[in-house]
Amino acid sequence: MDQNCDADKIILRQPDDWHVHFRDGAVLRAVVKNTASIFNRAIVMPNLQPPITSVEAAFSYRRRIMEAIPDGVIFTPLMTVYLTDDLPIDVIERGFQAGLFTAAKLYPANSTTNSSEGVSDLKEIDSILETMQKIGLPLLVHGEVVDQEVDIFDREAVFIERHLIHLLERYPALRVVMEHITTEQAVQFVEANSSRLAATITPHHLHINRNAMFAGGLRSDYFCLPVVKREHHRRALRKAATSGNSCFFLGTDSAPHLRSFKESSCGCAGIFNAPNALESYAQVFEEEGKLHKLQGFASEFGPAFYGLPLNTGSVTLVRREQVIPEFFEVNNGLGSKEKIVPFHAGETLNWSVLGLKEALE
């Protein structure tokens, strides 16, 4: 399927989201529809509390996700397992053989939301990584060091130098995705190792630089991890995403938090972009003059990396301005409602996704 693209309408092969956080409970039930109504599949992050560290927990989480998909919507959650220092190898093997795990996620301990049980030292998971390499299970990496001596804006670049180079050398056949890259150094490193290293890029890292977090005050809505960087990094990411290079593909890292957890003296990291992620990406590709490269990034390079079939359906974007809501209301599970603020809240995006009914008219 070629991308069909004119000045006012884009018909794309249906995309997938290769990195999303659905959370659990009331938030899960509120947010799944945003992803499921546009994307055919999504790689679901396992950093719940407690994290997904068993086959049974992953099956159960997948069932809760399936129950949250609206009637009539076809969507496949692709499950991941959360690596810990003492995760039994048979969990990896059984989950893989059952067709349940699409990948395993490495969080350096305490690097981001719900990562305290992550890996303290890569040496601790040596035999797990060997097993993954042997059976062909991809490793997804949150690529930041947690060393307090390292400036927060340098943590991704230092992770590459200290850990990722050695990891790729030590496991030459392991397939790796560096998730939500944020720096020029990551772009260059992924390009140089693209035979088996890929990267996801979020909409927010393409739209904002670190000034956004401090524009007129402290803006927790723009706080995420890895934290947004300087403008030249944003430019490098935009160039990479729109390049048509198959080692870069769509992963929103949509990460909802209730308002009360964002507006706090210690606000949570994460940006909720799922409701308008595709339109947000489309705007970037248009601004870069690369709309014709959107389908590869959104719908083709991810399946190719994971060895999964291309989607056969399509989605249609039309040039129709839409104002993004200031917030969504979610039942907080305690009988009252709370807000979740989406990315681009109150802003106008140029493109809109046509509903299925409209698309057929």
Give the residue at shortest CB distance from Zn ion.
253
Cβ nearer to Zn ion, comparing 13 with 257: 257
| Piece in contact with Zn ion (CB under 5 A), picked from 79-87, 114-122, 187-195, 251-259 | 251-259
Q: Is the peptide bond before 226 cis (omega within 30 degrees of 0)?
A: yes
Phi and psi at residue 230, to the nearest 5°: -65, 165
Cβ nearer to Zn ion, comparing 248 with 351: 248
Identify the residue whose tokens are 């945003």.
34
Least separation in angstroms between residue 180's CB and Zn ion is 6
Q: Report the C-alpha gap between 81 and 58 in whole angstroms.
A: 7
| Piece in contact with Zn ion (CB under 5 A), picked from 152-160, 247-255, 287-295, 350-358 | 247-255
Residue 300 lies near Zn ion (rule: CB under 5 A) = no
Residues 206, 144, 43, 306, CA torsion sign: positive
- Laid out side by side, the sheet with 17-20 consists of 17-20, 41-44, 76-82, 101-106, 139-141, 176-178, 197-201, 248-250
Least separation in angstroms between residue 167's CB and Zn ion is 19
| Piece in contact with Zn ion (CB under 5 A), picked from 245-253, 291-299, 304-312, 313-321 | 245-253
| Piece in contact with Zn ion (CB under 5 A), picked from 162-170, 208-216, 246-254, 334-342 | 246-254
Give the E-state strand segments of the chain in sequence order. Answer: 4-5, 9-13, 17-20, 41-44, 76-82, 101-106, 139-141, 176-178, 197-201, 248-250, 314-323, 328-331, 337-340, 348-353
Residue 253 lies near Zn ion (rule: CB under 5 A) = yes
Cβ nearer to Zn ion, comparing 253 with 338: 253
First to last CA, the chain: 21
Q: Report the C-alpha gap between 198 and 301 in whole angstroms.
A: 9
Cβ nearer to Zn ion, comparing 273 with 283: 273
Q: Report the C-alpha gap between 10 and 296 in whole angstroms.
A: 13
**CA angle 121–126–130, rounded 5-degree value:** 150
Residues 220, 225, 227, 228, CA torsion sign: negative
Phi and psi at residue 186, to the nearest 5°: -65, -40
- Retrieve residue 295's tokens: 């389908």
Least separation in angstroms between residue 72's CB and Zn ion is 28
Q: Is 278 helix (H, G, I), strand (E, B) or coil?
A: helix
Cβ nearer to Zn ion, comparing 11 with 298: 298
Least separation in angstroms between residue 19's CB and Zn ion is 6
Least separation in angstroms between residue 181's CB and Zn ion is 12
Radius of gyration of the chain (CA): 19
Cβ nearer to Zn ion, comparing 20 with 129: 20
Least separation in angstroms between residue 130's CB and Zn ion is 25
Residues 69-108 vs Zn ion: string with x where CB under 5 A?
A: ----------------------------------------
Other C-beta atoms lying within 10 Å of the C-beta of residue 265: 4
# chain residues binding Zn ion, by CB under 5 A: 1
To the query of whether residue 85 is one of the catalytic residues in this protein, the response is: no
Catalytic residue among 16, 17, 221, 253: 253
Least separation in angstroms between residue 199's CB and Zn ion is 13
Binding site for Zn ion (CB under 5 A): 253
Instruction: Report, as residue numbers or ranges, the catalytic residues.
Output: 253
